[in-house]
Amino acid sequence: MAKKDNISMSVIRRLPRYYRFLSDLKDKGIERISSKELSKKIGITASQIRQDLNCFGEFGQQGYGYSIEHLHNEISNILGISTINPTILIGAGNLGRAIATHISFNSIGFELKGIFEKNKDFVGKTIQNVPIYYIDSLEEFCKNNKITVAILCIPREATSEIAKTLYSLGIRNYWNFSHYDLSVKYEDVIVENVHLNDSLMTLCYRISNNFIID
Amino acid sequence: MAKKDNISMSVIRRLPRYYRFLSDLKDKGIERISSKELSKKIGITASQIRQDLNCFGEFGQQGYGYSIEHLHNEISNILGISTINPTILIGAGNLGRAIATHISFNSIGFELKGIFEKNKDFVGKTIQNVPIYYIDSLEEFCKNNKITVAILCIPREATSEIAKTLYSLGIRNYWNFSHYDLSVKYEDVIVENVHLNDSLMTLCYRISNNFIID
């Protein structure tokens, strides 16, 4: 598959959306779809979809459209979601528990090996069979389990110190809910931020300005 | 303040980030900052910051930099976060509880008036003093409380039906965690999606491709 260099984050961020809609169509037993129908379902123009997919190779066929199973598999391969990254989660509060449950029910590239918490009331319990450990055992656990990804569900104030430890352990991949900007401090890390407040403020702006189109 | 037309979503999505860093600087008692220093802290080029802010008026002063309190207030006004939008939340699972708590601790434009749940075990309890009601009372509650925003923390399968009800009640603003694409079905709604799976898949791609820069 001929893959272009310099693929932009905007293209990458649309791939999961394609994957999501294709999973749906596949589950419904649909075998192929025209680019026009696909465009309507996803809410992205046919030419944008074509342009995005062209970054990774040739998928559609003139007059035939897209084979759903083929395209679904290809996007799954592009995203790398069948890889298993050994992962830990820090913070067993409401959000941490929600995310731990989410990860366990969606087999997408990550295996949650352990949850770490400083509140001893939680320690020894499990979330979807994943044990909650006391934060003190973090270093040993990460080394023994070759952890490569950390999910941060802790308040911003606590993140600076934890990030320092995780970075020193060689962890370079983060799913970050903490409102602490890791990538400003550490230049060689991969961070997917879920900044809930940023999202809320954006919603606020859009409501105030009646800004519908995303 | 002269505001440009056609401000792009990319600009809008950077505003909360500016706001977040300015809040920090303000809390530290810092009064002004050069565009160069601000750029370094935020991790966005000085020219990009200038260009973004110029969409909304004139803020910096040559040789003086930015007055932090002034800029903080202006961005707060631009975002409209001192408005109070009467809001409900649907779904009192782990995620719903996390989000309800989050909203209560961050006074950003939304007042959570009620939480709705179909599981009767939760009904009658509260989260941060916000009552949990049985889903049956949704319509009456929304009418009586002039609800304008709904937060969806329910599974995708359940969202189609709930969205239909909310839309028929005139609710046009959504903070959507449900993986259901509201804006494909309803064209005149404002939706801020937090698609956790899309974020996870993007992280997956970036890890597989060592894609650091965001």
For residue B150, what is the nearest residue in chain A, using CA coordinates? A203
**Structure-block tokens of residue A113:** 């090996």
Contacts of B212 in chain A (CB under 8 A): 187-190
Contact (Cβ atoms closer than 8 angstroms) between residue A139 and residue A165 = yes
Complex-level ipTM:
0.93
**Structure-block tokens of residue B31:** 């009064």
Query: DSSP H helical segments within A55-155, as ranges?
Result: 68-79, 94-105, 138-144
CATH code for the domain defined by A9-79: 1.10.10.10
Looking at the complex, report in whole angstroms how far the Cα of residue B84 sits from the nearest Cα belonging to chain A.
9
Q: Given B19, B148, B207, which is nearest A173 (Cβ)?
A: B207
Q: With the CA atoms of A83, A87, A93 and A99 taken in that order, what torsion angle do they form, in degrees rounded to the nearest 10? A: 0
Assess whether pLDDT exceeds 60 at residue B1.
no
Looking at the complex, report in whole angstroms how far the Cα of residue B189 sits from the nearest Cα belonging to chain A.
6
pLDDT band at B2 (very low <50, low <70, confident <90, very high): low
- Mean pLDDT (whole number) for B12-24: 94
**Structure-block tokens of residue B170:** 């005139």
Stretches in chain A below the pLDDT threshold 50: none
Q: Closest Cα partner for B117 from B98, B96, B99, B101?
A: B96
Assess whether pLDDT exceeds 90 at residue B90.
yes
The whole-number pLDDT of residue B213 equals 72
**Structure-block tokens of residue B4:** 């440009």
Percent pLDDT > 70 in chain B is 99
Contact (Cβ atoms closer than 8 angstroms) between residue B153 and residue B137 = no
Residue ranges of E strands in B66-147: 66-67, 85-90, 110-117, 126-127, 130-134
Contact A207 B98 (CB under 8 A): no
Contact (Cβ atoms closer than 8 angstroms) between residue A39 and residue A66 = no
d(CA A155, CA A176): 11
d(CA A185, CA B183): 36
The whole-number pLDDT of residue A212 equals 86
pTM of the model: 0.89
CATH code for the domain defined by A85-198: 3.40.50.720
Residue A192: which H helix or E strand, with range?
Answer: strand A190-193
Query: Can you give the residue ranges of every domain in chain B?
Result: 9-79, 85-198
